[in-house]
Amino acid sequence: MIAFIMINTSAGAEEEVFNQLYKMEGVLEAHLVYGVYDILVKAEIEETKDKEKEDVVGRIRQIKKVQSTMTLVVLKSH
């Protein structure tokens, strides 16, 4: 499944977080953006019921200086 993850970072930490994201497994694209959010990520996520398995969203949320995220799971693409 594809998801778009919008990320807010600590002030001035956008580049630092961005540099960690684009190397992360499951991250297909990472973009520094202007607006309400600092970074936009396109990621491949797994649909699983195994709560022990850490997914890409969980790994992103564990990055130091990530303040908050909003995840949009793609229902259908054209």
Read off the DSSP letter of residue 38: S
> pLDDT tens string for the chain (78 positions)?
899 999 999 999 999 999 999 889 999 999 999 999 999 999 998 776 555 456 899 999 999 999 999 999 999 998
CA–CA separation, 64 and 77 (whole Å) = 32
In a domain, 10, yes or no: yes
Of 21, 20, 25, 16, which is closest to residue 5 (Cα–Cα)?
21
The strand pair at 27-32 and 66-73 is best described as: unpaired
CATH number of 45's domain? 3.30.70.920
In a domain, 25, yes or no: yes
Distance of CA 26 to the CA centre of its chain: 9
pLDDT of residue 52: 46
In a domain, 71, yes or no: no
Total number of domains constituting the chain? 1
In a domain, 14, yes or no: yes
pLDDT of residue 20: 95
CA–CA separation, 35 and 20 (whole Å) = 21
Range of the domain at 15: 2-65
